Structure 1
């Protein structure tokens, strides 16, 4: 037994020795590897471990892309990396492989805590990174976790302390850094920012600064994006001083002869009026029913409106929609459905414009002009990925045609297309009909109009987005609205502030709203009854509050103009109040005055009977009973004549009311008679029934009127007495009483002396 244990110890030592030698050999290969002189085309040519190679082969990743060939060796040597490459070039593996190799060479275990942190700008991109990591890291002993908004926080808090590689969005990662007790970042080895330009912008600035403040400065940092930010301030915030730039050479340089979009992407554009864009979109979908399409729009309200209306018009293809205001479960299901489908159209915002790898997307349509060229590059990058073919189409209005010059400056020159009049179909009448029938669709159209106009107003490039020349009336009609809703435009500072608050961490908001004693109220733990929920519930359909938000003063004014088209208004008058007419509100000084003030009789004796008033349509007060003027009375004729007419009218009313009352009384009597007969019939059936077990027990609760029930009871007693009298007379008249089957004669018991003598005589006979 001791020898066997000794053998196991020897074997472990030999295995540890072999592993140490393998790691030294791997480290030597990494230091000697030169990506410039190397002709590596496959992952097996790189100095990476066998565990990672095995996972890559099983996940069908064999051949290297350009960004992977350049960046992975640099990352393996421990340098900070600023990577920029075209969309669909494999940037995800370019930072996941160095993470696995770094932790493997450091012999990382679950007891070492968090080793790598990957920050993504959107939930969908974080989920995609996590799925790729689980595929290629199956043969390693590392643990990975995904933390994004919309998931159960408590479930994540219980397990996050045992995570080696953490992937998530900025807000949720910061929340766990504040709340999770076991999450320790002091030993962090690598920080990765995917879509770094989006993570570094103003929307995530405070959140990212708070995260970086909790990380050690000795870490290795990797930044990847299709459109890279070279701002020195942004790089200094991440302690990125001695870094290597890899990928496309200065992708933002205008003098670069190579465009930032894939070569296999066929790009085109169409010039169309703003009012005709939906017609063009619907006609395009009808003519491409066997394609996989993504349609990008500027706001979630536009996506919701177009999806609901097009779904009712049934273009002949499956429709999906995806935007940031949806629940996480719905977003995940939509992503899964679109990825698996072959013929489908997805309406989406820019939430899926970055990094998401949708398989085999045929067309990328941009219904609204993107805010800049970088957004255009990310949008069209959903197609033509990994060398496959794809097509894109951007629909520009005549005012936005100058955007083509912005694209040309980045060596992007889409081809102009013309629409055949026979292929174009107008859907304006259908939209008007749908909005007329469904008020909720009308509300969605109004919100879509408002969100689009506001999105044009806040754009920075005023040469492309001309707010003053926006054809609002024609655009409203194209949405099916009868006219353009008035909009209240806030200042740019408030818009930027709201945008910053939207992307900021909810945990930071809660901390800023903490009580004086530092406690944060958790609304989820407050007790709320069903009545609290009922009264706190808001109407989800189109009723007064939603309608007033659009047409009322809250959002119904623009540049201080008042709404003159309201058909329901309150005519309010500012009445001048004289101080002499106001009642004395001070407490009476004498006891007698106090009693008189508290006595109703005394107050009425001094001020007269209290009178009620009513208000007419003009807001003027009138007494409830107002005397008619003498002139008006004379105009209607002689007093005697008016008296006769009044008496005649009242007598007719009395006659009508009398006949109605008689009819009601007659119906009541008939009903009582019917009930009495039914009761008698039930009694007879009960008395003469041969089989008592067949008789059902019945309960009667009366008519509901106590007086009627009493009368019915009295009448039933009288009827019963008469019935018993008739039965007694018949029995007394029948002297020849018949015996029953057992020979026993049934005779009524004698009550008087005469009855007893009569019975004795009958028995003697």
Structure 2
């Protein structure tokens, strides 16, 4: 980093009035110690606690309704209704900043935003940036795709510029629930801060720990990590510590807790310094997230810009009901009706993802799979090819349901209806983004009815039936059955190849292809690589029956 910039004075009118002018708060050393101030944190997040002491020389307007408010005179007119009071308060509130400069972002970072075509702050950025730049801990509630990554990236980079060469390393730690999201966050840090000399390291599973340890030895300013791999380095990488960390970010906090990362998060919190700032972003405020808030934030400011469990108006949602044995036929029919547009097919298990990707490729679709069982390089390759348009269909588990920035997805197909209703919201949120239209279709068999009814109850409306004639769909049954046999045979051969490598002791993680498997697969015209992930076409593509109809 270059020389330190003079810190700008906090604007007491930015964001949330007096809250924006509050100084940074000291952090508790451990979750147990921080929990002692839980009541104060909850009250302040809801606006019911007294304003914290103002910084020296910064005027703070009195808070209406707080303990320091002036009592009304005896002759004051009777109070208005609560609704009228809320309306009056909303009318008196300052308008959200229309530009990044108005939000308090420095000129260097405004220029970086301009280069990335960030023309104006999104709603979550307009609400969170003034508070974060004024020194507050922030809880942000916003759906994926709302621009929240820049809402915590910009304050960290600006603080790093202010600190200059005196900033310790690592200066900030960001935890994300999935490898793909961690990589994406790191890209945003590099895009916004690369010209300023910011060094960023990504720590995720599936990659070589020694290479990551070498990168940590180069003293990065920002560490973006999945919780498990971050704890691995804390325990095993010599010389790596977080004593100098001044910012902690927990992104997609509800997903972090749903994935049982509580022990890892506790381990990280226990070694962080007391003097730090914390940003917590989540799609929903669950009881677990509230518990995490009390453990690691002090008097946070809470901002929310998302409707509870809502879907956008430009998303067309429907369902198709069929026997479970015909699901593959309906999937092929719907993909054909899209006419080559991009689609993400969500499934519940890794095995289903691999099988469907092979089956769809045998039917002539440019399909690839992404799931937690693949090596990290294979997952990134699959995602990269889908983003680049080299693959039109991405078959995915819920590792792709949150946070990933895929600019244009025309349709989402729920091959398996999620048992957890909120996952449906996140899945269909991959399409109809940034004002575009999109299609979401759920395949509902006799085993999915209960899950689908929960989804309808969550979103508060009954979905229409997808227009598909069963007799027409079943005309595809013979070709789909043939593609299913191709997929099953390749999966068997891949499994045999893995067992053979294991018996010879020459294995390593899957993703390669044994000689015996390759020989057997190449006997068949149009067969694909054994592993059900991102392998390229081995021979001539099997002619798709759907395109010939």
> Above 0.5 in TM-score?
yes
SS in 1 for 2:271: coil
CA separation of 1:59/1:397 partners in 2, compared to 1, >3 Å: closer, same or farther? same
- 1:369, CA displacement in angstroms? 0.9
CA distance 1:423–1:178, shift in 2 (3 Å) = same
**Larger deviation, residues 395-404 vs 69-78:** 395-404
1:323 to 347, 353, 371: 371
Which residue does 1:43 correspond to in 2?
100
1:698-717 correspondence to structure 2 within 5 Å: none
Identify the match of residue 466 of structure 2 among 391, 395, 417. Answer: 417
Mean CA deviation greater in 292-301 or 192-201: 192-201
Query: Could you tell me how far apart the structure 2 residues matched to 1:190 and 1:179 are?
Result: 23
2:442 corresponds in structure 1 to 394
1:169 partnered with 2:150: no
Shift of 1:266: 2.0
Indicate the larger mover: 208-217 or 61-70: 208-217
Task: Give the corresponding residue for 1:261.
Answer: 311
Instruction: Say whether residues 1:366 and 2:414 are aligned partners.
Output: yes
Q: Which residue matches 2:198?
A: 142
Specify the SS of the correspondent of 1:305. helix
Are 1:294 and 1:364, in contact at CA under 8 Å, matched by a contact in 2? yes
Which structure 2 segments of 5+ residues have no match?
17-92, 496-500, 518-549
> 143, 148, 160: which one pairs with 1:103?
160
What is the Cα deviation at residue 107 of structure 1? 2.9
Query: Distance between the aligned counterparts of 1:278 and 1:437, measured in 2?
Result: 14
Q: 2:276 aligns with which of 188, 194, 219?
A: 219
Maintained 8 Å contact 1:89/1:385: no
Offset, 1:86: 2.5
Match of 1:262, SS?
coil
Structure 1, 85-94 or 276-285: larger mean CA deviation = 85-94
Asked if 1 retains the 8 angstrom alpha-carbon contact of 2:14 and 2:131, the reply is: no
Secondary structure at the aligned position of 1:415 is classed as: coil
Confirm or deny that 1:88 pairs with 2:145.
yes
Question: Hey, which of these two has a bigger chunk of helix by percent?
Answer: 1
CA distance in 1, matches of 2:342, 2:187: 23
Partners of 1:135 and 1:308 lie apart in 2 by 36
State the partner residue of 1:197: 254
- Aligned counterpart, 1:27: 9
Whole-Å separation in 1 of the counterparts to 2:220 and 2:440: 41
Alignment of 1:509-548 (within 5 A): 534=504
Structure 1 position 438, deviation (Å): 7.8
Q: How do 1:40-439 residues align onto structure 2 when only pairs under 5 Å count?
A: 40-107=97-164, 109=166, 112-161=168-217, 162-201=219-258, 203-231=260-288, 234-235=291-292, 238-248=295-305, 252=308, 259-314=309-364, 317-341=365-389, 344-413=392-461, 414-421=463-470, 423-430=472-479, 432-433=481-482
Cα distance between partner residues in 2 of 1:425 and 1:532: 41
User: Separation in 1 of the partners of 2:410 and 2:104?
Assistant: 37
Do the aligned partners of 1:435 and 1:441 also contact (CA within 8 Å) in 2?
Answer: no
CA offsets 1:96-131 (integer angstroms, 9 cap, x no match): 112112222333556x11111011111111111111
Q: Check whether the contact 1:434–1:441 (CA below 8 A) recurs between aligned residues.
A: no
Map Cα deviations across residues 422-457 of structure 1 (whole Å, 9 max, x no partner).
Answer: 5413554445556667863574999xxxxxxxxxxx
Q: Distance in 2 between matches of 1:344 and 1:49?
A: 40
* Alpha-carbon spacing, 1:159–1:537, altered in 2? closer, same or farther (3 Å): closer
Q: Look up the SS of the partner of 1:213 in the other structure.
A: helix
Taking the aligned partners of 1:536 and 1:374, their CA distance within structure 2 comes to: 43
Query: For structure 1, which runs of at least 5 residues remain unmatched after alignment?
Result: 1-14, 253-258, 447-530, 543-765
Normalising by structure 2, report the TM-score.
Answer: 0.71
Equivalent-residue separation in structure 1 for 2:452 and 2:186 (angstroms): 37
What is the TM-score with the length of structure 1 in the denominator?
0.52
Following TM superposition, by how much is the alpha carbon of 1:237 offset from its aligned partner in structure 2, in angstroms? Answer: 6.5
Deviation track 1:185-219 (CA, whole Å, cap 9, x = no partner) reads 12211111111111123521222221221112332
Pick closer, same or farther for the CA change 1:426–1:117 going to 2, 3 Å. farther
Q: Distance in 2 between matches of 1:438 and 1:350?
A: 22
* Cα RMSD for the two superposed structures: 3.1
Residue pair 2:371, 2:397 contacting (<8 A) in 1 also: yes
Whole-Å separation in 1 of the counterparts to 2:485 and 2:335: 24
Aligned residues: 429
Give secondary structure in 2 for the equivalent of 1:107: helix
Mapped to 2, the partners of 1:77 and 1:351 lie a distance apart of: 34
The structure with the largest alpha-carbon Rg is 1
1:292–1:342 CA contact under 8 A, matched in 2: no
User: Is 1:86–1:262's contact at 8 Å kept on the other side of the alignment?
Assistant: no
Q: Which has the higher contact order (CA 8 A, sep 6+)?
A: 2
Q: Name the CA distance, whole Å, in 2 between partners of 1:277 and 1:330.
A: 27
Q: What is the CA-CA distance between 1:535 and the residue it aligns to?
A: 5.2
